[in-house]
Amino acid sequence: MTGFLQHTFDGLVNGAFYALLALGLAVIFGMLRVVNFAHGAFYMLGAMGAYVLLAEFGVPFWWALVIMPVVLGVLGMALERAFVHRLARLDPLYNFLLTFGLVLILQDLVKSRYGVQSIPYATPESLGGSVDLGIFDFPTYRVFVLGFAVAICVAVWWALTHSRVGMVVRAATERPELTRAFGINVGRWVTPVFGFGIALAGLAGVLAAPMRAVNPLMGADLIIVVFAVVVIGGLGSIFGSVAAGFGIGLIQAWGVVYLADWPILSQTLVFIVMAAVLLWRPAGLFGREEAPA
């Protein structure tokens, strides 16, 4: 029983990263209809940035947690203005190629400077050690990651459902043309939403630095699973992406333990789940079929 609870907690912590990344992908896809292939690269930049800030400038974790999302969010907005925006009218494939090319460039830039070896990043002192959760001890940092990610997801959800900006984003996501006809300048919201999605990826990266291997390829390994998460939750569905993020974290954690004798199965479990969900609900668990424009 204790073992099961421990795996469950591990799964939720991993799910927290999936949820933060999927959430960013979902808001970007919803508003721009762009599948941001570079999302994993920005996650990597968040972690690398935290390392560089600490190693070169002595900037501690807590500041990195604020600085990197802001820096990457601004970078994301510039990217949207300079490139993504110009390709928006064309086939979605163009933006797919653009963001994929960006992954290669960003990865190689980081590789040429810092190599491919994983870099250690110390857990912030205040979050060291472990906490007793009653039945077992759990590393304090992981408890923090889970709580922080859940708080962010809830805050984003609340803002989307309770604020005027959130209402406009929902309307523009569902029916962009109709929303313009109601006097709303949809184009004005596209850039900040893109930047916000990227900032969430950067935030996840900073959170990952103390507990994951920091290297140029860390995002590439993760993003494939995150794409599966987004598809399972339903493309563009905010709630679906977060729920599926935590769900897939759990399924993976349980699979590794309880399917240990069938490693092939446990490694492909996510994609088996994805295929099953798509057969059952082609638009994903919480997705809606695209309405006509």
Partner 1 sequence: MLRIENLSAWYGEARVLREVSLEVAAGEVVTLVGRNGAGKSTLLRCVMGLHPGQSGAISLDGRDVTRLPAHRRARLGLGWVPDDRGAYASLTVTENLTLPPRVGPDPWSLERVYEAFPALHLRRDSPATKLSGGEQQMLALARVLRMGARLLLCDEPTEGLSPLLVQQVGDLLREAKKHGVTVLLVEQNLHFATGVADRHYLLAEGRVVEAMDNSEVRSRERELLAYLGI
- In degrees rounded to 5, what are phi and psi of residue 175? -140, 85
Nearer residue to partner 1 within complex by CB, 32 or 47: 32
CA–CA dist 152, 198 (Å, integer): 14
- In whole angstroms, the minimum distance from the beta carbon of 239 to partner 1 comes to 10
Cα 183 vs. chain centroid, distance in angstroms?
32
- In whole angstroms, the minimum distance from the beta carbon of 184 to partner 1 comes to 6
Nearer residue to partner 1 within complex by CB, 164 or 264: 164
For residue 248, which of 218, 201, 284, 281 has the smallest C-alpha distance? 284
Which residue's entry shows tokens 């947690």?
65
Nearer residue to partner 1 within complex by CB, 111 or 162: 162
Contact (CB, 8 A) for 40 and 162: no
Q: Is the dihedral of CA 284, 188, 202, 5 positive or negative?
A: negative
Footprint of partner 1 on this chain (CB under 8 A)?
Answer: 167-168, 170-171, 173-175, 177-186, 288, 291-292
- In whole angstroms, the minimum distance from the beta carbon of 180 to partner 1 comes to 4
- Return the DSSP state at 214: B
Nearer residue to partner 1 within complex by CB, 86 or 180: 180
CA–CA dist 190, 192 (Å, integer): 6
Contact (CB, 8 A) for 110 and 216: yes
- In whole angstroms, the minimum distance from the beta carbon of 238 to partner 1 comes to 9
- In whole angstroms, the minimum distance from the beta carbon of 140 to partner 1 comes to 38
Nearer residue to partner 1 within complex by CB, 62 or 182: 182
